[in-house]
Amino acid sequence: MDKQTRNAMAARVARDIPEGAYVNLGIGLPTRIANYLPADKEVILHSENGLLGMGPSPAPGEEDPELINAGKELVTLLPGGSYFHHADSFTMMRGGHLDICVMGAYQVSAAGDLANWSTGAEDAIPAVGGALDLAIGARKVYVMMDYLTKTGECKLVEQCSYPLTGLACVSRIYSDMAILDITPDGPQVLELCPGLTFDALQALTPIRLLQSDLIPA
């Protein structure tokens, strides 16, 4: 089995973002998506520090140290883009003006609950940022994550044991092993990485998975 690389995961998410969507890319792995959006598709990227109309990472030598996203990564601004106070940015998030946000996760529950800002460890530094606002404000919440932790535990669980970011907010999971929709009946597998079978994925997962018609029996 060949797990999807992080760049391959980002490219796969980019394929599912529709023309004209207003999208927030969370700190970390989701920011890579910007580099895989086709130039002929208009997708308006938002950052909670006060940017609308972000482009991909700058080419070497074209960096602007004052143009960064919420994760302090250097970005570009497309024609027609703008920057503004972060209070206005959070108003956009809370007001339901974003079509999609893509965030990382420590855990996602079978019902779509999201835990992504703290593991609860004593030495952990909480970093909630705009995650709470995005989880309840965006029309769809996509998660990009490794399917398993470094110790081999599945991040898709019956109930989250870490502090919650939002309840029943996750629409879809893009992982290095599979893509799953969160449905009223439970997580449904839409795609599997090459060489992985549905039964093998189920064996790694502590909850029951549903098999879509797109997955061979």
Catalytic sites, residue numbers? 48
Both tokens of residue 156? 């898709």
What is the distance between the alpha carbons of residues 89 and 24, in angstroms, rounded to a whole number? 11
Task: Give the helix/strand (H/E) hosting 137.
Answer: helix 131-137
What is the distance between the alpha carbons of residues 36 and 56, in angstroms, rounded to a whole number? 8
What is the distance between the alpha carbons of residues 192 and 22, in angstroms, rounded to a whole number? 28
Both tokens of residue 212? 């879509």
- The C-alpha angle 168, 140, 145, rounded to 5 degrees, equals 75
What is the distance between the alpha carbons of residues 39 and 74, in angstroms, rounded to a whole number? 19
